């Protein structure tokens, strides 16, 4: 079927290479897409840098990187039922087994045997990619490619903010973290009806985006101030009704627990570098009567349906969070940009087709 360009990890060490490989063959329950756009996630940066997590987690090398994607279906397997050639799709990255107890009880996103695209199998930083039909999600054509490919992390943000009960209207929400997913979360919280959004982060560039996404209070985690007291002072002394932790820093977890009101909900999404974190179990959890909700993935496909509708209707504007569009072949520029400290970028989207990239850049710069 010919060859394609793909960004692959060839060796168990730092970096990745743009190489020519055979266009992959699909199995009967899979579809082949021509990738329109693909975005860089923090996970890809871990794999690119080849840290301890990647060394322990990544089994198959060589492997194509990337998992956030949108593309057009060019071929479908013989047992594929709903997806058709020509469909404009994105991919849920948690590939469920459809057999375990979680899959059978409506919790496919935390499948006991799940695989992750670009982690456990070849990813999408390529001209073509194989997507199992079970995770193919048909997009609305009104959603441009640079937004369609970031629906996966936007789904994390949506799920983390809304929780299981979608009960957020009129509540006061504190969001810790300033990566792209946290910035998405600010926008989702605001749109979902939060009466106040506190945004706590580190880098000026990202905090400014947080303001554009609707943060009412922008608090620097590095400033010498009592953020917990500030949040209490601005919530009638109670604390935030909902805390969304997306920094994965010990300080953010502890301040998040302390700034949550009694009976509140704590959405845990950030990954801490320490495997174990010491918390005051009695006072921060038990006596406060809080709920802790671990966020792994998104509701399949309730979260996807809601954010598709919000993006297609243009009710939710995520454009401030998308800061750079590059050609796929310039992926190294994207990774370098992502790794700069202090941060100078949020979401970076790559395009295999330069013609499409140029078209999108014209819109992007408006
Ligand atoms: Zn399963």
* pLDDT tens, residue by residue, 247-260: 999 999 999 999 99
Calpha distance 347→338 (Å, rounded): 8
Tokens of 263: 């009976």
- Which of 288, 295, 282, 234 is CA-nearest to residue 260? 288
Distance 98 CA to ligand 1 centre (A): 5
Radius of gyration of the chain (CA): 20
69 Cα to the center of ligand 1, angstroms:
23
Please give the distance, rounded to the nearest whole angstrom, from the Cα atom of residue 297 to the centre of ligand 1: 14
pTM: 0.97
* Enzyme catalytic residues: 43, 46
In this predicted model, what pLDDT tens digit does every residue of 154-193 receive, in sequence order?
Answer: 999 999 999 999 999 999 999 999 999 999 999 999 999 9
| CA 92 – ligand 1 centroid, Å | 14
Ligand 1 geometric centre to CA of 113 (Å): 5
pLDDT confidence band for 58 (50 / 70 / 90) = very high
Domains, the chain, in order of start with CATH, read 3-154+299-365 (3.90.180.10), 157-294 (3.40.50.720)
Q: Which two tokens stand for residue 365?
A: 């710069």
Q: What is the full DSSP assignment across 41-55?
A: -HHHHHHHHT-HHHH
| Distance in angstroms (rounded) separating the CA atoms of residues 363 and 173 | 33
> What is the rounded average pLDDT of the residues 289-303?
97
Contact (CB, 8 A) for 229 and 255: no
pLDDT at 365 over 90: no
- What string of DSSP letters covers 67-128? -EEEEEEEEE-TT--S--TT-EEEE-SEE--S-SHHHHTT-GGG-TT-EEBTTTB--SSBSE
- Enumerate residues with CB within 5 Å of ligand 1 (an ion): 96-97, 100, 103, 111
Closest CA to 161 of 298, 345, 41: 298
For position 1, what pLDDT does the model report?
73
* Cβ 103 vs Cβ 54: under 8 Å: no
Write out pLDDT tens, residues 10-40: 999 999 999 999 999 999 999 999 999 999 9
């Amino acid at each position: 079927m010919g060859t394609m360009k793909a960004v692959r990890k060839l060796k168990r060490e730092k970096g990745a290479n743009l190489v020519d490989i055979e266009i992959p063959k699909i199995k009967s329950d899979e579809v082949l897409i021509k990738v329109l756009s693909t975005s860089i996630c923090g996970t890809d940066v871990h794999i690119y840098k080849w840290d301890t997590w990647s060394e322990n987690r990544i089994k198959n090398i060589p492997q194509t990187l990337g998992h956030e994607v949108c593309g057009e279906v060019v071929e479908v397997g013989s047992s594929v039922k709903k997806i058709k050639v020509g469909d404009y799709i994105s991919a849920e990255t948690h590939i469920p087994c459809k057999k375990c107890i979680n899959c059978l009880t409506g919790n496919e996103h935390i499948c006991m045997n799940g695989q992750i695209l670009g982690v456990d199998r070849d990813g999408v930083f390529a001209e073509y990619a194989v997507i199992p039909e079970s995770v193919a999600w048909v997009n609305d054509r009104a959603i441009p490619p640079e937004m369609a490919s970031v629906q996966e992390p936007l789904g994390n943000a949506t799920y983390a903010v809304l929780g299981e009960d979608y009960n957020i209207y009129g509540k006061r929400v504190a969001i810790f973290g300033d990566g792209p997913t946290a910035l998405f979360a600010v926008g989702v919280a605001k749109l979902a009806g939060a009466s106040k959004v506190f945004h706590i982060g580190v880098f000026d560039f990202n905090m400014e985006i947080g303001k554009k996404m609707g943060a009412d209070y922008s608090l620097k985690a590095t400033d010498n101030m009592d953020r917990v007291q500030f949040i209490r002072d601005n919530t009638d002394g109670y604390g935030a009704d909902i805390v969304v932790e997306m920094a994965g820093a010990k300080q953010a977890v502890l301040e998040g627990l302390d700034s949550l009101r009694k009976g509140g909900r704590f959405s845990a999404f950030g990954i801490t570098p320490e495997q174990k974190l010491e918390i005051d179990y009695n006072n921060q959890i038990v006596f406060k009567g809080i709920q802790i909700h671990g966020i792994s993935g998104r509701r399949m496909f309730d979260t996807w349906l809601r954010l598709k509708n919000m993006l297609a209707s243009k009710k939710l504007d995520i454009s401030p969070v998308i800061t750079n569009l590059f050609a796929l072949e310039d992926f190294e520029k994207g990774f370098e940009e992502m790794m700069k400290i202090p941060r100078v970028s949020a979401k970076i989207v790559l395009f295999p087709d330069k013609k499409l990239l140029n078209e999108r850049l014209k819109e992007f710069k408006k």
